């Protein structure tokens, strides 16, 4: 069988039996698909006598099986031709299988792709990709931050950095120090932060126990005098990366994060091998941006007029270890992308979520008596069971303004995809969106901008777009899917209102402060997802310092 996904072969176990003659003891529920004689078979479609032919069925490796076997997590494949490759694959399906006389005899069709009329294709507002920095605006986070400084520098006060690492990583720590002082690489760390980099050498922590560093770190912190007028940031050089298969080793990341939050210390975790990599110089700018946000600065924000609305972001993460979904929440008390109130709780507690939204509304209404609406960006289609408690809580405070709920699909759309036939890589311009009916939309969210969006209408040669080298695309994400609900049906019938909501989703995807590369998903769902991912590892919940700190970046 030629599919590259099937790169692990084991016999199908009976319930309770082990794989590979007793070497592994794996719950059979993690087996989803099997291959037998070149045929792919779902576990629910296995024949009744499958157990009589155990040696002939081979499980397909999936994340759950991967985890059970103790293998490193499957790292996503990154390709610059994903959009084009996807077009080639489904176009082959059309030409090779669907345009045959045999298929057409069963289902007659047009034999070609559906071409959208020009009026059916919409676009986000001109300038919706523009970001505001301290001294100017730009569409590119890296170029904008380098040229125009942070939108809002870190708050007034003193700042100290210190290193936490295993004693074998002392040289690695010195190398990072040189990077942050621009003695290595080409990124001016201090320029990106607009802050002097001051290391407190008395606070450096070198631990000996690589498998359990927490007691040594806590012992040092417990005797360290922390000044109330000083902001601290720990650079934790971790012996393990985020793809670590051993749960005990992976837990160290969260244990150290939680401990530092208890001491009101922001932190940046960096894998030791990454620092020693030749490519690390390209990552320093991402680290600087995340550090700036964690220290209370605003690297960039949306360049648009403020209006009276409360934006609520809800994201989710399912943990395999606990087999439970958790949701994270955050609130933006204006439409500028400045989020507060990060928290998380079990996904099935809809009443707790409704209560959190009510508290946010009450807090928001104090300085904003004329709030126009509440907008909720949710990670999935909201059911009546989930909406009703929210409406009930809002009515309890006599708050009858419209509630708009926008479902933002976490997974890139594959069932409905837009292609631009005249473009070599087939990806439409960023901000292009179309209605797919029943208040559903697909939005192309990438960095292939129309020249006019950047105020660069002259960047064309013979009618063909010319892109400067620094603006060449780095990724080709598939569209995201949106579904819009409202307590006021009239809003859904207004195309201009719909465009405003889609503009907002599009713009919030450019507020990601973990990297200088824009994302296809808005931070309204991405940030809460990162919080929810960490929440199960925090025994006593998120410490108060973490409720308004971007520790999760």
- Residue pair 190/196 in contact (Cβ under 8 Å)? The answer is yes
- Residue pair 379/327 in contact (Cβ under 8 Å)? The answer is yes
**In angstroms, what CA-CA distances link 207 with 114, 212, 312, 361?**
62, 9, 41, 45
Q: What is the pLDDT of residue 185?
A: 61
Name residue 369's beta-bridge partners.
none
Q: Helix 384-396 and helix 350-365: axis angle, to 10°?
A: 40
Q: What is the pLDDT of residue 206?
A: 95
State how beta strands 33-36 and 39-42 pair. Answer: antiparallel
Task: Specify the 3-state DSSP secondary structure of 339.
Answer: strand
Strand positions, DSSP E, 337-431: 339-346, 373-378, 403-408
Task: Specify the 3-state DSSP secondary structure of 531.
Answer: helix
Q: What is the pLDDT of residue 368?
A: 64
First to last CA, the chain: 41
- The tens place of each residue's pLDDT in the chain, 553 residues long, gives 233 333 344 444 444 443 433 345 777 778 888 888 888 999 889 998 888 887 888 888 887 787 777 776 666 665 567 788 888 888 898 999 999 999 999 999 988 888 888 888 899 988 888 899 999 999 888 889 888 999 989 988 899 999 999 999 999 999 998 888 776 666 777 878 888 888 999 999 999 999 999 999 999 999 999 998 999 999 999 999 877 777 788 889 999 999 999 999 999 999 999 999 888 888 888 999 999 999 999 999 888 877 777 888 888 887 766 678 888 888 887 767 678 788 888 888 778 888 888 877 777 766 666 667 888 898 877 777 777 887 787 777 766 778 898 999 866 666 778 888 888 888 899 999 999 889 999 999 888 888 754 444 333 333 333 444 334 566 778 889 999 998 888 889 999 999 999 999 999 998 899 988 888 889 999 999 999 888 888 888 888 899 888 999 8
Task: Specify the 3-state DSSP secondary structure of 104.
Answer: helix
- Residue pair 278/285 in contact (Cβ under 8 Å)? The answer is no
The Cα 475–Cα 15 span in angstroms is 43
The Cα 272–Cα 381 span in angstroms is 40
Q: What is the DSSP letter of 411?
A: S
- State the burial class of residue 278 (Cβ atoms within 10 Å of its Cβ: 0-12, 13-18, 19+): exposed
Q: What is the pLDDT of residue 399?
A: 66
The Cα 407–Cα 412 span in angstroms is 13
The Cα 369–Cα 44 span in angstroms is 56
Q: What is the pLDDT of residue 466?
A: 40
The Cα 379–Cα 518 span in angstroms is 19
Q: What is the DSSP letter of 229?
A: T
Which candidate, 403, 326, 328, 327, places its Cα nearest to that of 361? 403
Name residue 301's beta-bridge partners.
132
Q: What is the DSSP letter of 94?
A: I
Name residue 270's beta-bridge partners.
237
The residues, ordered by sequence, that sit 6+ positions from 345 with a Cβ below 8 Å of its Cβ are 326, 327, 352, 353, 535
Give the predicted TM-score (pTM) of the model: 0.81
């Amino acid at each position: 069988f030629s599919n590259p996904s099937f790169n692990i072969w084991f016999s199908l176990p009976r319930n309770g039996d082990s794989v590979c003659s007793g070497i592994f003891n794996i719950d059979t529920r993690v087996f989803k698909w099997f291959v037998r004689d070149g045929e792919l078979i779902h576990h629910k479609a296995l024949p009744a006598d499958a157990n009589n032919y155990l040696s002939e069925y081979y499980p397909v490796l999936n994340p759950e099986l991967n985890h059970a076997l103790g293998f490193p997590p499957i790292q996503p494949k990154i390709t610059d031709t994903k959009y084009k490759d996807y077009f080639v694959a489904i176009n082959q399906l059309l030409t090779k299988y669907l345009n045959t006389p045999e298929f057409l005899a069963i289902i007659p069709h047009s034999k070609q792709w559906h071409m959208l009329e020009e009026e059916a294709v919409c676009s986000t507002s001109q300038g919706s990709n523009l970001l505001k920095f301290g001294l100017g605006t730009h569409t590119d986070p890296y170029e904008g931050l380098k040229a125009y400084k942070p939108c809002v520098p870190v708050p007034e006060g003193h700042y100290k950095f210190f290193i936490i690492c295993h004693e074998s990583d002392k040289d690695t720590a010195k190398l990072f120090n040189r990077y942050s002082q621009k003695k290595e690489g080409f990124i001016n760390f201090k320029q990106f932060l607009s802050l002097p980099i001051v290391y407190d050498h008395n606070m450096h922590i070198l631990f000996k126990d690589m498998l359990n560093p927490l007691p040594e770190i806590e012992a040092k912190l417990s005797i360290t005098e922390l000044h109330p007028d000083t902001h601290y940031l720990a650079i934790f050089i971790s012996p393990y990366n985020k793809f670590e298969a051993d749960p005990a080793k992976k837990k160290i990341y969260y244990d150290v994060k939680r401990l530092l939050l208890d001491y009101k210390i922001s932190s940046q975790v960096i894998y030791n091998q990454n620092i020693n990599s030749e490519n690390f110089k390209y990552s320093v700018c991402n680290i600087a941006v995340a550090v700036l946000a964690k220290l209370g600065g605003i690297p960039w924000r949306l360049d648009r007029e403020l209006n009276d609305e409360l934006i609520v972001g809800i994201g989710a993460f399912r943990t395999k270890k606990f087999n439970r979904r958790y949701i994270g929440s955050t609130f933006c008390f204006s439409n500028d992308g400045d989020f507060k109130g990060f928290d998380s709780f079990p996904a099935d507690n809809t009443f707790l979520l409704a209560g959190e939204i009510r508290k946010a509304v009450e807090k928001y209404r104090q300085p904003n008596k004329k709030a126009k609406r509440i907008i909720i960006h949710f990670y999935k289609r909201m059911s009546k069971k989930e909406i009703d408690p929210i409406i009930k809580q809002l009515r309890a405070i006599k708050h009858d303004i419209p509630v708009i709920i926008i479902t933002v699909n976490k997974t890139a759309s594959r069932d409905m995809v837009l292609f631009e036939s005249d473009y070599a890589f087939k990806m439409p311009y960023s901000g292009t969106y179309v209605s797919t009916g029943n208040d559903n939309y697909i939005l192309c969210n990438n960095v292939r901008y129309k020249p006019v969006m950047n105020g660069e209408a002259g960047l064309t040669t013979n009618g063909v777009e010319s892109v400067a080298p620094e603006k060449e695309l780095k990724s080709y994400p598939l569209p995201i899917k949106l579904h819009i609900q409202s307590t006021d049906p009239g809003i859904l019938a207004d195309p201009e209102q719909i465009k405003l909501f889609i503009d907002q989703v599009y713009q919030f995807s450019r507020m990601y402060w973990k990297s200088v590369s824009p994302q296809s998903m808005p931070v309204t769902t991405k940030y809460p997802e990162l919080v929810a991912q960490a929440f199960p590892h925090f025994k006593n919940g998120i410490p108060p310092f973490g409720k308004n700190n971007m520790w999760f970046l």
